[in-house]
Amino acid sequence: MSKAPPVDLEKYLVGRNHKYLTYQQAARLYGLPYWAFVTVAKQAKATWALRKTAIVDIVVFERYLEEHCVITEDEDVIYEMEDYVMPRTRKEVQNIEELVKSKKKKYVRYAEGAELFSMGLHSFQSLAKDAGAIRKVKGCVLVNLEKVEEFVESFAEEDF
């Protein structure tokens, strides 16, 4: 089965007074990262979904920017969106060694465990797998530190 030909935007736009661009074209025009532009365009309700592509009504998008745009003293444009919430990043745990030693934190993620054991990420991942200390919870991989420590201690050399 061959691929469908690209969408002919002209047949959808005949008789319209608005200017339409694809997400990629419009993101380049405004100098924004692709996904940031897509998010703002959707909030502006300036998008139209067509078969395998989407277009942005630039007139509607411009109107939205005029209402939500602030110009600073150095004439840089900053887009402020009252309802837009930035995606949360995982916060770094302070004093992780103390939490682990006091048994308050039994499970950690790969990055935290690698930092705790002073290892590279991939080395810690393979160590945790070999120790059988991995638990997957809703797409999140947690490592049982007690099992990893027992596994590491099993390699202790005895004095002869």
Q: What is the pLDDT along the chain (160 residues), one digit of tens a residue?
A: 677 777 666 666 666 666 778 888 888 887 778 888 888 888 888 888 887 788 888 888 888 887 776 555 444 445 454 544 555 555 565 666 666 666 667 888 888 888 888 888 899 999 999 999 998 887 888 999 889 989 988 887 765 5
Among candidate residues 70, 65, 53, the one with its CA nearest the CA of residue 29:
65
Rounded to 10°, the helix 23-30/34-43 angle is: 100
> CA 56, CA 146: separation in Å to the nearest integer?
53
Query: In this structure, is the dihedral angle defined by the CA atoms of residues 120, 128, 154 and 114, taken in order, positive or negative?
Result: positive
SS3 87: coil
In the prediction, which pLDDT does 21 show? 82
CA-based angle 60:64:70, to the nearest 5?
Answer: 150
Question: What pTM did the predictor assign?
Answer: 0.40
Q: Residues with Cβ < 8 Å from 152, sequence gap 6 or more?
A: 117, 127, 131
